[in-house]
């Protein structure tokens, strides 16, 4: 499992690091963010989920490229037997930003695809004692939407809802996140920072 996690992390970092190759097309690292909220997987009680994301700029005038890393874990105990299931996801999402008159509030809808490392561990004190763990890598498809609103010149607030179709642990997530501008000249930030022009009489 650890080798797969490292491979996915390296792939995610390389995707962000390759922004210069896309710079001429409007793609490049604009901001980084974190999120947290409620995750409701199939066959597992709801739990708290955490994540990190990046705004990699626009691949078209209205579609943003948004890689995302997510994690949730849930433990239960029944008659002394403890079961823990967790999911680590690495996904890439495209967000269609609906045209609005003000960049301070922008709704969006999105699609994405990702890889999920789903792990299960069962511990039974016995007798006889048992400690079994397993992990599987699964493909997931994301469908969701939400909105982003400006908090300050360098920070945005994201509120979104995503449904992820993945074998055995399809999940609905409702999260709130905050992004931090890292110097990219994103269209929203460029608009909000543009100085007002005075009309000469």
Q: What is the pLDDT of residues 44-80, one digit of tens each?
A: 899 999 999 999 999 999 999 999 999 999 998 888 8
Residue among 132, 51, 130 nearest 85 (CA): 132
pLDDT in tens, 31-41: 999 999 999 99
Least confident of 9-23, 97-111, 155-169, 170-184: 9-23
Q: Is 11 left (phi over 0), alpha (psi -120 to 50) or beta?
A: alpha
How confident is the model at residue 21, as a pLDDT? 45
pTM of the model: 0.77
**Domain 2-193 grouped into CATH 2.30.40.10:** no
Please enumerate in sequence order all residues whose Cβ is within 8 A of that of 187, keeping only pairs 6 or more positions apart, or say none: 58, 103
pLDDT in tens, 158-184: 999 999 999 989 999 999 999 999 975
């Amino acid at each position: 499992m650890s080798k797969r996690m490292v491979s996915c992390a390296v792939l995610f970092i390389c995707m962000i690091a390759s922004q210069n190759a896309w710079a001429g097309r409007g793609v490049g690292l604009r901001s980084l963010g974190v999120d947290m909220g409620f995750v409701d997987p199939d066959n597992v009680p709801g739990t708290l989920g955490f994540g990190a994301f990046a705004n990699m700029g626009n691949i078209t005038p209205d579609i943003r490229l948004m890689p995302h890393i997510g994690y949730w874990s849930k433990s239960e105990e029944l008659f002394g037997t403890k079961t823990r299931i967790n999911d680590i996801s690495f996904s890439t999402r495209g967000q269609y930003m609906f045209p609005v008159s003000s960049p301070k509030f922008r709704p969006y809808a999105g699609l994405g695809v990702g890889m999920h490392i789903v792990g299960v561990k069962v511990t039974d004190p016995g007798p006889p004692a048992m400690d079994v763990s397993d992990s599987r890598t699964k493909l997931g498809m994301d469908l969701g939407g939400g909105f982003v609103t400006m908090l300050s010149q360098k920070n945005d607030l994201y509120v979104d809802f995503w449904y992820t179709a993945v074998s055995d642990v399809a999940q609905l997530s409702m999260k709130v996140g905050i992004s931090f501008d890292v110097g990219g000249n994103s269209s929203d930030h460029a608009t909000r920072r543009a100085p007002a022009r005075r009309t000469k009489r």
